[in-house]
C-alpha cells in the first residue's frame, strides 16, 4: 500500500468556527469567521483552530509543548505493552474501509495515527498543544505519512468540525485531563456520523474507591519517606517540578465512566478493563524516566508474559474492577 494521503479529501469544507459554530473561510494568514469576526492564524503551517481563555487549558497546552520532543520516551510508547493495548483499542477503527475519515482528539505525538495510516484511513490529528501537533507531524513525516492539512490545534471540548464529518472518532488517555468530559464526549458524538464508531481508550480507574489499594499506597509513601528521608523527598519533588503535569487528573470508576458516556448520548457497546501488572510497571518506569537521566525499559519477553497474564486475569469479573485503565467502544446512534 502506498504511504501518505490515501485519496483527495477536502477537510477544509468541514471546518467550523469553534467560537460560534459557523463555517469559516480560509485566508492567506489563517482562517476567518465572518459571523463572529474571529481569526485563527497558522503556527508553523499548523492552523490554530482554538479560542482559549481558560487558565488551566493554557497551562496544559504549554506543559505538553514543553515535553513534546521527549513525550514518547517518557511514556514508553515504543514498548510492547503500549503497542499491544493501543492496537486493541483501535481494532474497531482498523476494520473500517480504506479512505474512511477518522478524527483523533488529543493526538499527542501521533503514535496511534501511524497504525491507522498504514490501513489507508484518512486521519485528522488534533491536540490542544502546538508542540505536540508539530511533533506528530514530524514523526509521521519520518514514516512517509504526511499532509499538513490533516494537522490542527483544537480543543476537544469545542471541536472545529461540522456535524457528522467523520466515520469514527477516538480519544486516548486524554479524557481525564479535561475539565468537562461530558462536553467533549458530546462533541465527539456530534462530529461522528450516525452508526459511526467512537472509542474512549486508556482512561484511569478510580483507585481511591478501592480502600485497600489506597491504604497500601499511603503505607508505601510513609515507608519511602522513612527510608529516603524527608530532605531527599523534598529534593526529589523539586527535581520533578517541571515534569508534573498542571492538569485536572480525573479518575473514573467503571460505573462513573459508563454514566458519562451515556450522558453524552453515546451507546456503549463494550467496556474493557486493561493493564493490571502492566499498569504498575508503567507507572514505575515513567517515574524513573522523569527523575533520572537514564531511559528505563522492560525486557520484551517479560512484557509479553505480563501482557498475557493481564489478559487472563481481566476475564475474572471481580478482578476486572482492579484494572488500571478502561477502554470503551461506542456507537453513535
* CATH code, 67: 3.40.50.150
Is residue 235 situated within a structural domain? no
Low-confidence winner among 83-87, 224-228, 328-332 (lowest mean pLDDT): 224-228
Is residue 233 situated within a structural domain? no
Residue 273 exposed, middle or buried by CB count within 10 Å (0-12, 13-18, 19+): buried
Tell me the residue range of the domain where 37 lies: 11-205+248-274+325-331
- Label residue 15 by pLDDT band (50, 70, 90): very high
Is residue 293 situated within a structural domain? no
Asked if pLDDT for residue 322 goes beyond 70, the answer is: yes
Please report the pLDDT score of residue 5 as a whole number.
45
Closest CA to 151 of 165, 140, 141, 137: 137
Choice between 327 and 207, residue whose per-residue pLDDT is larger: 327
Is residue 73 situated within a structural domain? yes
Contact 250, 207 (CB under 8 A): no
β-strand 192-204 against 25-27: which pairing, if any?
unpaired
Please report the pLDDT score of residue 6 as a whole number.
42
pLDDT in tens, 265-311: 999 999 999 998 898 888 888 878 777 777 888 899 999 999 999 99
- Grid cell at residue 41: 492564524
SS3 266: coil
Number of domains in the chain: 1
Q: How far apart are CA 116 and CA 98, in angstroms?
A: 10
Mean pLDDT of the chain: 85
Is residue 140 situated within a structural domain? yes
Closest CA to 204 of 152, 279, 104, 261: 279
Is residue 121 situated within a structural domain? yes
Is residue 171 situated within a structural domain? yes
Q: How far apart are CA 197 and CA 210, in angstroms?
A: 32
Is residue 127 situated within a structural domain? yes
pTM, rounded to two decimals: 0.85
Sheet holding 325-331, edge to edge: 25-27, 30-32, 39-43, 46-49, 151-154, 122-127, 101-105, 166-172, 192-204, 325-331, 267-274
Please report the pLDDT score of residue 75 as a whole number.
82
Residue 318 exposed, middle or buried by CB count within 10 Å (0-12, 13-18, 19+): exposed
Low-confidence winner among 126-130, 203-207, 208-212 (lowest mean pLDDT): 208-212
Amino acid at each position: 500500500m502506498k504511504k501518505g494521503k490515501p485519496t483527495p479529501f477536502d477537510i477544509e469544507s468541514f471546518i467550523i468556527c469553534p467560537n460560534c459554530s459557523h463555517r469559516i473561510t480560509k485566508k492567506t494568514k489563517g482562517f476567518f469567521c465572518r459571523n463572529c469576526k474571529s481569526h485563527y492564524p497558522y503556527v508553523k503551517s499548523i492552523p490554530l483552530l482554538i479560542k482559549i481563555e481558560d487558565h488551566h487549558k493554557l497551562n496544559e497546552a504549554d506543559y505538553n509543548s514543553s515535553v513534546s520532543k521527549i513525550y514518547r520516551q517518557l511514556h514508553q510508547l515504543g514498548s510492547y505493552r503500549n503497542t499491544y493495548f493501543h492496537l486493541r483499542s483501535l481494532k474497531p477503527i482498523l476494520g473500517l474501509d480504506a479512505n474512511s475519515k477518522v478524527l483523533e482528539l488529543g493526538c499527542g505525538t501521533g503514535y496511534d495515527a501511524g497504525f491507522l495510516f498504514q490501513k489507508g484511513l484518512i486521519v485528522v490529528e488534533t491536540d490542544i498543544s502546538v508542540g505536540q501537533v508539530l511533533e506528530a507531524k514530524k514523526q509521521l513525516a519520518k514514516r512517509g505519512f504526511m499532509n499538513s492539512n490533516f494537522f490542527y490545534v483544537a480543543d476537544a471540548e469545542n471541536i472545529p468540525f461540522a456535524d457528522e464529518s467523520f466515520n469514527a472518532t477516538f480519544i486516548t488517555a486524554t479524557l481525564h485531563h479535561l475539565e468537562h468530559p461530558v462536553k467533549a464526549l458530546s462533541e465527539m458524538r456530534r462530529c461522528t456520523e450516525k452508526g459511526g464508531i467512537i472509542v474512549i481508550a486508556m482512561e484511569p480507574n478510580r483507585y481511591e474507591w478501592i480502600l485497600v489499594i489506597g491504604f497500601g499506597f499511603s503505607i508505601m509513601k510513609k515507608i519511602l519517606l522513612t527510608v529516603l528521608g524527608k530532605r531527599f523527598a523534598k529534593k526529589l519533588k523539586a527535581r520533578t517540578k517541571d515534569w508534573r503535569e498542571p492538569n485536572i487528573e480525573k479518575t473514573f470508576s467503571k460505573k462513573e465512566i459508563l454514566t458519562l458516556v451515556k450522558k453524552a448520548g453515546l451507546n456503549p457497546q463494550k467496556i474493557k478493563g486493561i493493564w493490571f501488572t502492566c499498569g504498575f510497571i508503567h507507572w514505575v518506569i515513567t517515574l524513573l524516566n522523569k527523575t533520572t537521566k537514564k531511559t528505563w525499559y522492560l525486557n520484551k519477553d517479560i512484557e509479553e508474559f505480563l501482557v498475557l497474564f493481564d489478559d487472563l486475569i481481566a476475564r475474572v469479573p471481580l478482578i476486572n474492577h482492579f484494572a488500571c485503565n478502561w477502554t470503551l467502544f461506542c456507537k453513535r446512534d
